[in-house]
Structure 1
């Protein structure tokens, strides 16, 4: 666990989707001796940040029971069907009302199990408050995305997001302020059961 996080940056785990392509709640799929969501939460907690929030939506009653722990704040987005953007705006509006001193926010997804707490720390350590920075993950196809740290200046725009594209447009519109970091392991989104089984077998056979 790291205690080098100097900036006041909470982590928000976005886990509200219905996992339609997966055919079951991906948050509850087995990952090692835990689940995908609990693995992601543990990764966030082990980064040493002060506050970790988890945004739930679909199947939230079932999923919430599986992650009850005092060190995580659970937020239930009742408008989750409107897409990832609604979960981002829901979380940001909560943060703006409850913690006026945050310097930025780090978003991560529940279905990217190759992301490590060391990588989250690297994103945070590269972040300099009050410089309009966006510290994003560099994907192999040249695109930038989550996990991503947004400076506080973007919270207003983030609080108004809607739809399934999340913050992609905001990153694109502010490209000159984006710094992209490539993780040591390929960042994989688990959208289908085939994706999950392939990565599961590869990870736990190594």
Structure 2
């Protein structure tokens, strides 16, 4: 019998305005594409059933440079209010369009070291665990990328604008199984961080 957990949707959060970066962070060059482009490539190459990208700020500029291919865009018109609203917007679209979804994997567009291997590890752990939240552990914290089972869909779709997925993880420690992120943890918020990570990759 097929594992009933195996229909996973993947949600990439890319709605922010990159205020600390001073430019459109999602479109910064990375390898042969961009930060958002590499996140999409890794998601499309993963074992996820459906991929959604939540946009907000700079939505027209981003869509011009990253045409839809193997995934769907969702626009959060209230992106300024916070990440929780973008998660809720994406989750609502997934639940409306993919009725059989049993898990939603949430990732960020500014963690270019998060690769297909890690995404598949999160899904495999979900398939083989009794836990309903599989999250990444780094710097003594547990957070995204993180995969949430059906039991948490309602909470995800009702997140407050300023409240992210971290709140659900923190409130349900008994439901969490973690994977160490190690060097893949670094996200990019400033030009300095971006240049440092580029240097490490060369």
Contact 2:144-2:165 at 8 Å conserved across structures = no
**Number of residues paired by the alignment?**
199
What is the aligned partner in structure 1 of residue 44 from structure 2?
A: 45
Shift of 1:183: 2.9
Runs of 4+ in 1 over 4 A off after TM superposition: 129-132
What is the aligned partner in structure 2 of residue 183 from structure 1?
A: 181
Give the 3-state SS of the residue equivalent to 1:149 in structure 2.
strand
What is the aligned partner in structure 1 of residue 149 from structure 2?
A: 151
Shift of 1:33: 1.5
Over 3 Å counting, the alpha-carbon distance change for 1:120 and 1:180 in structure 2 is same
Shift of 1:17: 0.2
Contact 2:18-2:189 at 8 Å conserved across structures = yes
Matches of 1:78 and 1:49 in 2, distance apart?
26
* Cα deviation digits, residues 45-78 of structure 1 (max 9, x gap): 1113221110000000000111113311011110
What is the aligned partner in structure 2 of residue 69 from structure 1?
A: 68
Matches of 2:114 and 2:131 in 1, distance apart?
24
Greater CA deviation, 183-192 or 20-29? 183-192
Give the 3-state SS of the residue equivalent to 1:10 in structure 2.
strand
Matches of 2:7 and 2:164 in 1, distance apart?
23
Shift of 1:196: 0.4
Shift of 1:132: 5.3
Shift of 1:164: 3.3
Matches within 5 A, 1:109-120: 109-120=108-119
What is the aligned partner in structure 1 of residue 33 from structure 2?
A: 34
What is the aligned partner in structure 2 of residue 3 from structure 1?
A: none
**Cα-Cα RMSD:** 1.7
For structure 1, the 5+ residue unaligned runs are: 1-5
Greater CA deviation, 123-132 or 61-70? 123-132
Contact 1:131-1:151 at 8 Å conserved across structures = no
The two structures have a TM-score, normalised by structure 2, of 0.93
Contact 2:11-2:53 at 8 Å conserved across structures = yes
Matches of 2:95 and 2:52 in 1, distance apart?
13
User: Are 2:179 and 1:168 equivalent residues in the alignment?
Assistant: no
What is the aligned partner in structure 2 of residue 89 from structure 1?
A: 88
